[in-house]
Structure 1
Amino acid sequence: MSTTAEDAVATGTLLSVRHLVKHFPVRSKGLIRREIGQVHAVCDVSFDLGEGETLGLVGESGCGKSTTARVVLNLIPATSGTVHYRGQELTELGSKQMRALRRDLQIVFQDPYASLDPRLPVNEIIAEPLRIHGLYDADGRTRVRDLMRTVGLKPEHGNRYPHEFSGGQRQRIGVARALALRPKVLVLDEPVSALDVSIQAGVLNLLDELQAELGLSYLFVSHDLSVVRHIADRIAVMYLGKIVETGPADQLFDGPAHPYTQALISAIPLPDPRKERARERITVIGDVPSPANPPSGCRFRTRCPKFAAELGEAERTQCTDVVPELVERGQGHPVACHFAERRSLL
């Protein structure tokens, strides 16, 4: 029997997302701005996040990763679909109802400099969630200092402002702020993409340590598969608003089956020059289609090397007319491709 993304939620699942859709209206210019179209940012996305698990959500810029993360946390209202946290539906809750759940669901944004208030010292930035939720008591100052130590910062620097820290330190401040309420789920939106490689390693190691110590679950959003491979237990690959392949990280890297996943993995540089020169390269053609007017059938077909060079007329018609379902097709994990084929690329 085939396995689909809609299978029953496993025991221990914290977050369950089903058929999530987010469309943004496109409006005309002028005094009366009428809706003339929609941007299909997220289209029928489903996944689960288990306790203590890291799910990597990957894809190139503009594929809908960050929008998915924000809709999951109800920071942006969903067009349709459901998000269940421990059995409670989030998409139907208002801002007041969500406030109590914000303690369990936190986010670390991509740009730490933009997400930290430049007018507040670090002590107040980290203490702000505690004050908002009425948890800043007589031990509040001690708790803030402990959080700074937890993320590798010196408590005596708490009176400094964000601009006085390096990029890696600012990202650690963002992590400390997110941890202040002791959440169960932490959404990490490109947390290391703006950092140098050496600093990236420090932040990733910190996240590993915090997960082991605090039992956190991560939804890790990134375009860098080499980073995701280091930290993720499972990976979901997105293209133009849809998940096209998902499975255990090792399985996905050892044998990617979707042409888009294969192209992403083949672009990861290898440290051995001989292996790098001898490896198979899979390249995509053309530009990403507009999400306001996505292609029919398989959304990747306009750039797919298999569609362009390997398929016959009848097979191309199937790709053009039929939307491929995200199901297990004999590759060991769900793939949204009519002609999925595993390849070893690393």
Structure 2
Amino acid sequence: MTRPSDVPLLSVRDLVKHYPVRGKGLLRRTAGDVHAVCGVSFDLYRGETLGLVGESGCGKSTTGRAVLNLQRPTSGQVVFQGEDLGTTSSKDLRRMRQRMQIVFQDPYASLDPRATVSSAIAEPLRIHGTYADGGPERVRELLRTVGLNPEHGNRYPHEFSGGQRQRVGVARALAMRPDLVVLDEPVSALDVSIQAGVVNLLEDLQEELGLAYLFVAHDLSVVRHIAHRVAVMYLGRIVEIGDRDQLFDQPAHPYTQALISSIPVPDPRRERERAKRRILISGDVPSPVTPPSGCRFRTRCPKFAQLTSDEQVACVEQVPELVDRGQGHPSACHYAEVIPVV
């Protein structure tokens, strides 16, 4: 894609988020840490969508919330529009929150069932003290923008369908005219027939308003449709990142290859052919409290099982760096190899 600027809107470096595990008993001492996010780095540009994908529990949503400082990072740096969020005062952070918003996975849980839709959308305007300056008209405008009837603003969330409720969530996120929106699995709770409408709405809004999206999802088909670049996460780390078409057509990391090979296709004949070449992952995801040494994917990696014992030493002892090893985009695998997944 053609970027309007070489300066990232959002720059994340070595982001870490650990959660303490408390023991039982009166003192409840810390027994360990859940390694939710471990050294994640990426840039996001204005008007761009970065898809963040991986299995459940890999740290995608935690990354999105840590970027917005909704969950304070354990360490690392998040720079938004040139300002380091880690060193920003509470007053300045409150001001900056107007420029960055989030749409949650469950549209019903993210809306107050006792408040009308108009009240929910107007809430950011009231919090930031701008509702008195044309607030009611701004709410009606937002409802029209997301494809809802402004006359239905006096209804409550339970009177809308799931897709309509998610549109309300999008409208609320747009109330303060943000530059960055974190989309935390925004269509995973919706029927397939409804997903397309919401995804198309997000694309139209991005083109119209120049928004940057951090799109968290586990549905690779949706990500391939909407994202410009894709970052694949496994057990708290990014294992591969690159332009959408290059990553889907020429995946270099064994985990990415397994994920892409599992995407179903609507053609029965092609699906049977794909099933013969499907890359299967064995075993369970290791505990994030005690992740494996070296490469975290090695305990389930089909390539690791084919290596000699001497070659396996690197996987066991060394954490693979996220670098380009000649495949055209960075991947975190000592033995990265492009395997087209048709």
Q: Which of the five TM-score ranges fits, normalised by the shorter chain?
A: over 0.9
Residue 286 of structure 1 is aligned with which of 274, 283, 307? 283
Residue 4 of structure 1: aligned partner: none
Number of the residue aligned with 1:321:
317
Alignment match, 2:188: 193
Deviations 1:147-189 (Å, cap 9, x if unpaired)? 0000000111101000111100000000000000000000000
Q: Percent identity?
A: 71
The aligned residue for residue 299 of structure 1 is 296
Number of the residue aligned with 1:5: none
| Residue equivalent to 1:118 | 113
Other structure's SS at 1:336 match:
coil
Cα distance between partner residues in 2 of 1:202 and 1:218: 17
1:126-137 → structure 2 map (5 Å cutoff) = 126-137=121-132
Determine if the alignment matches structure 1 residue 160 to structure 2 residue 155: yes
The match for 1:330 is 326
* Displacement of 1:138: 4.6
CA root-mean-square deviation = 0.9
Which secondary structure state, in structure 2, belongs to the residue aligned with residue 275 of structure 1? helix
What's the TM-score, normalizing by structure 2?
0.97
What's the counterpart of residue 54 of structure 1? 49
CA distance in structure 2 between the aligned counterparts of 1:100 and 1:282, rounded to whole angstroms: 47
Q: Which residue of 2 aligns with 1:342?
A: 338
Q: Aligned partners of 1:112, 1:201: CA distance in 2, in Å?
A: 16
Deviation track 1:275-302 (CA, whole Å, cap 9, x = no partner) reads 1111220010100000000000000000
Q: Using the alignment, how far apart are the partners of 1:228 and 1:13 within structure 2?
A: 21
| Residues paired across the two proteins, number | 336
1:263 is the counterpart of 2:258: yes
Q: Distance in 2 between matches of 1:338 and 1:90?
A: 33
Please, which runs of 5 or more residues in structure 2 have no aligned partner?
A: none
Structure 2 letter corresponding to 1:292: V
CA distance in 1, matches of 2:330, 2:90: 35
Please give the alpha-carbon distance, in whole angstroms, between the structure 2 residues aligned to 1:198 and 1:345. 27
- The 3-state SS of whatever aligns with 1:51 is coil
Provide the TM-score with structure 1 as the length reference: 0.96
- Name the CA distance, whole Å, in 2 between partners of 1:276 and 1:69: 34
- Residue of structure 2 in register with 1:96 after alignment: 91
1:94 Cα shift? Answer: 4.8
1-side partners of 2:318 and 2:97: how far apart? 40
Mapping of 1:179-218 within 5 angstroms?
179-218=174-213
Query: Take 2:316 and 2:91, find their aligned partners in 1: how far apart are those partners?
Result: 45
